[in-house]
Chain A
Amino acid sequence: MKKRVLPLVILCLSVLIAVGSQTFLSPCVHEDGSFGACHWAGQAMLGLGCLTAVMGLLLLFRPGSRSGLFIAAAAAGVLGTLIPGTLIALCSMSAMRCRAIMQPAMTLLCCLVILAAAAGLILEERKGGRKP
């Protein structure tokens, strides 16, 4: 059971990233239906959320390569903190939804993914160290 806690946390955070990027944490909503660069940051976060969700599922249901998957999840988390604002530009005004809500929320969620993955990796390595 203990082994499943951190993968479950990663899975839940990933779902939040993927679903949130399209709903309650979505980028700016344009009245005329057009969209700017921040829209693509939202799309990228959807993809990243799905990717880490798959990692979470693999960690839950596939016993092998746990350390590698934790490292990959942490790397995906780092990528997630960089996508909105650094790799993909957002709107220029800080009061805009993409910068006031999406970027900080995604940064927070991705940092939590990194922390969970790092904790999982440390536990995994400790367990590995105890093996004869």
Chain B
Amino acid sequence: MSAAGLPFKNLTRKPGRTWALVLLTAFLSLSLFAGSVVVMSLQSGLRSLEARLGADIIVVPAAAKTKTDFQNILLQGTTGAFYMDAGLLDQIAAAEGVEKAAPQTFLATLKADCCSSRLQVIGIDQQADFTVQPWIAQSSSRELGPLEVAVGSDISAGVGDTLRIYRQSCPVVARLSPTGTGLDTAVYCSMETMKTLLEAAEEMGVSHKVTSDNAEEVISAVYVKVAEGASVDQVATSLMSHPRWKVAVVQTRSMITDVSDGLAGVASAVKVLIGAVWALSFVILLVVFALLTNERKREFAVLRLIGASRRSLRRLILTETGLVCLLGGCLGIAVGAAVIFLFTALIESALGLPYLTPDGGKIALVAVLSLLGTALMGALASARTAWHLSRVDTGSILREGN
């Protein structure tokens, strides 16, 4: 047997001890990898939300009970519909400090053909819209035609499929890139299509009328871009305080701050958890390696006797640790990846925050860093043992055995 094969032989000779160490290091890399990916996904989700909202202020009917209901639609994909007179759009657009104003109309479906849940349909004015349209443009170069829809990435219908919404056949012409927010579970259509769907809904008994004499034109929200130099707070206050409008105003900045606060809480909890796991695992590894020092004294004394140098003994221990860390690290990362990527939807809904998995390159980098971190931890924990064992007093150790 060659000296190079000795670490491997040592590990396979004691499978119980080896597997215990492998599982411990797997736990280390699992916590680091999974924790880091979750935190990174939350950060990407927040960035995506910022990019997707695009507006400074969102005006919704007072009946939408302000932020909470509307925030749930945006962040968690819950369905909801509330309406106000479409005539308000022109008045809001003409208000002081408003640069752009784009309407959206919501419609919650009944059980769609695709599944037992309700879908959120969002109608956009394709000429005026500056929030959803750029996002749709990434997937489709043309405007949405009559009854054509674009679907969020969390809806499994593909381009060419047809969704049945209120007995209307709506061909899917674009599938949007993921945002990690509730917007991924929505279906987008033009205002003309929305009008048809609202009429179909009306026929099926789902009313959207805001007043008995206004069955035609309704909108759910107006996305407002504040003019440069104008104060968002002042514009929001002036819109909300209008005596006849009966609207609520959501400032996207405060919504993002709320999400950011939630994200900071989760990220801190994850970091504390990773720290605790690492501290505990480091102590356990130190204890395990200290116990091994006594257990393997004779083995190393014999190796010294047959001519192994102190340096080669240190290398032997560190190679063994490296192999254990490599195997454990890979195992931990594989388990972490399986759980994190398979259960993405569950994690997303459990956290209730925007959650967008980073791209493959970033994940590969996190995996490599987790593996290196685990190897470094193993090397640090076994360094003392390697030093002690390489300095065993061969004669006295072997005499003790007799």
> A36 and B116: CB pair below 8 A?
yes
Question: Is A9 at the interface (CB under 8 A from chain B)?
Answer: no
Residue from the list A28, A30, A90, A100 in contact with B343, Cβ < 8 A = A100
> B343 and A91: CB pair below 8 A?
no
Residues of A within 8 A of B116 (CB): 28, 30, 34-36, 91, 96
> B157 and A92: CB pair below 8 A?
yes
In the bound complex, how far is the Cα of B121 from the Cα of A72, in angstroms? 46
Question: Is B345 at the interface (CB under 8 A from chain A)?
Answer: yes
- Tell me the nearest residue of chain B to A103, going by C-beta: B342
Residue from the list B77, B156, B338, B345 in contact with A92, Cβ < 8 A = B156
Total of A-B residue pairs, C-beta within 8 Å: 64
> B345 and A28: CB pair below 8 A?
no
Question: Is B94 at the interface (CB under 8 A from chain A)?
Answer: no
Question: Is A1 at the interface (CB under 8 A from chain B)?
Answer: no
- Tell me the nearest residue of chain B to A106, going by C-beta: B342
Question: Is A65 at the interface (CB under 8 A from chain B)?
Answer: no
- Chain B positions 86-124 with a Cβ under 8 Å from a chain A Cβ: 112, 114-117, 119
Given contacts A91-B114, A96-B117, are A104 and B343 in contact (CB under 8 A)? Answer: yes
> A100 and B349: CB pair below 8 A?
yes
Residues of B within 8 A of A101 (CB): 343, 346
Residues of B within 8 A of A105 (CB): 342
> A95 and B154: CB pair below 8 A?
yes
Write the A34-56 contact mask toward B (1 if CB under 8 angstroms, else 0): 11101000000000000000000
Residues of A within 8 A of B184 (CB): 94
- Chain A positions 2-38 with a Cβ under 8 Å from a chain B Cβ: 28, 30, 34-36, 38
A interface, size bucket: 20 to 34
In the bound complex, how far is the Cα of B117 from the Cα of A105, in angstroms? 21
Residues of A within 8 A of B338 (CB): 108, 111
> A99 and B342: CB pair below 8 A?
no
Residues of B within 8 A of A95 (CB): 77, 117, 154, 185, 345, 348-349
* Interface hub of A90, A91, A100 (most chain B Cβ within 10 A): A100
Question: Is B276 at the interface (CB under 8 A from chain A)?
Answer: no
Write the B307-351 contact mask toward A (1 if CB under 8 angstroms, else 0): 000000000000000000000000000000011001101101100
A-B pairs with lowest CB-CB distance, top 5: A91-B115, A104-B342, A92-B114, A100-B345, A94-B154
Interchain Cβ contacts under 8 Å between A and B, 11 examples: A30-B116, A34-B116, A35-B116, A91-B117, A93-B115, A93-B119, A95-B154, A95-B185, A96-B117, A104-B345, A108-B338
